[in-house]
Amino acid sequence: MPALASHRKPRTLVRSTGPAVGLTTAALASVTLLSTQSALAAPAPKPSIEDVQKKVDDLYRQAGTATQQYNQAKEATAKQRSKVDTLLDDVAQRTEKVNEARRTLGTYAAAQYRGGALAPTATFFLADDPQSFFDQTHLMDRMTERQTRAVSDFRTQQEKASKQRAEAVASLETLTESQTTLRTSKRDVQTKLSEARGLLSKLTAEEKARLAELERKKEAEAKRKAGELAKKQAAAKAEADRKAEEAAKESGSGTGTGTGTGTGSGSGSDTDASTKAEKVMAFARAQIGKPYVWGATGPASYDCSGLTQAAWKAAGVDIPRTTWDQVNVGTRVATADLQPGDLVFFYDDISHVGIYKGDGMMIHAPKPGANVREESIYYMPIYGSVRPG
């Protein structure tokens, strides 16, 4: 029997590319993994000591700014709390007056309810005589006047009480805002100081030594500039003394016919200013060695503006709490004309202040971790100076 022919189509052999695709995917994955591992393995470049120093100084400056914001908010909070307390006392007193007026009205209302009201004709016929009628009518008119005044007084007290309650509510809202600012400023200070401490804690012993050396160089340069200022001030003083001596000699060589009308008020004023400056400096020197604590006003510790405020208070002069307000007190003074007791302010945001000591040096509360000390005024960029009092 002949074999049947197959009706199936012959298979076309197709070479599979599966293994090739698999190899390509694996290769790409390997390259990606290696690239990722290389990226993870390559650490970020470590900042230089100079960069760390700059960053830490900037963080301390920012903390100083936040400290002034904290001081400002704390002062505003204290003032607003005092205002609120006063307003609440006033509201309580006014409420008592409203209650008194209400009680008076109640008395009149009760009397009218008990006695009822008679028409004028009935009062006339019930009276013993015409004179008695007129006396009763006059008395009733007076009672009506008292009632009218009582009603008017009640309304007045009620309106004033309502107004004072509104003022108290507004003041409480302002107090809440001040307290919020206070908390925010405090958190900002703590954050900046924490960042600075974190940077310093990561330094090795060798890096800390290099950072200390950079600080010494910075201090040395600042002292050099202070020395230059001291020389200029000494030369200017010598020249002023020489001119004053020459003027005195010229005045003494005259014929003596002058009338002597000078008042001498200038010398008295200078003496008073000098006495105040001496008290300021005596107080400031006595605080040397005490720790800087942000927000502190003494006597155990200070921040920068707390020290300056306390020093001038010791001389009998009240100045504001913050650097931003202190810079607007007194007379502006050029750096070349600085005298002991003058206040020197630093940075563009006026976030630091010190007390000029003389010879280009100052006494100030520097920053957290440091104590009140003497330092060159050129250690930080100078904003300007003032002479309080």
Burial of 179 (0-12, 13-18, 19+ CB in 10 A): middle
For 55, other C-beta atoms within 10 Å of its C-beta total 14
State the pairing for strand pair 343-346/373-376: unpaired
Contacts of residue 355, defined as CB under 8 A and 6 or more positions apart, other chains included, come to 280, 281, 284, 307, 308, 311, 341, 342, 343, 344, 362, 363, 364
Q: How far apart are the first and last CA of the chain?
A: 136
**HSE-CB of 87 using CA atoms within 13 angstroms:** 19
Distance from C-alpha of 327 to C-alpha of 321, rounded to nearest angstrom: 11
**Angle 304-314/265-286 helices, nearest 10 degrees?**
130
* Angle, CA of 45, 47 and 48, to the nearest 5°: 125
Structure tokens at 200: 């310093």
CB 376 within 8 A of CB 225: yes
Going by C-alpha positions, the residue among 181, 173, 161 that lies closest to residue 81 is 173
Distance from C-alpha of 231 to C-alpha of 238, rounded to nearest angstrom: 10
For 216, other C-beta atoms within 10 Å of its C-beta total 10
Residue with tokens 């009205």, as numbered in its chain:
105
Structure tokens at 102: 């209400």
* Backbone region of residue 351 per phi and psi (left: phi > 0; alpha: psi in -120 to 50; beta: other values): alpha
Name the residues annotated as catalytic.
Answer: 304, 352, 364
Distance from C-alpha of 180 to C-alpha of 55, rounded to nearest angstrom: 28
User: Residue type at 160?
Assistant: K
- Reported as type and span, the H/E element at residue 81 is helix 49-115
State the pairing for strand pair 373-376/382-387: unpaired
Distance from C-alpha of 355 to C-alpha of 385, rounded to nearest angstrom: 10
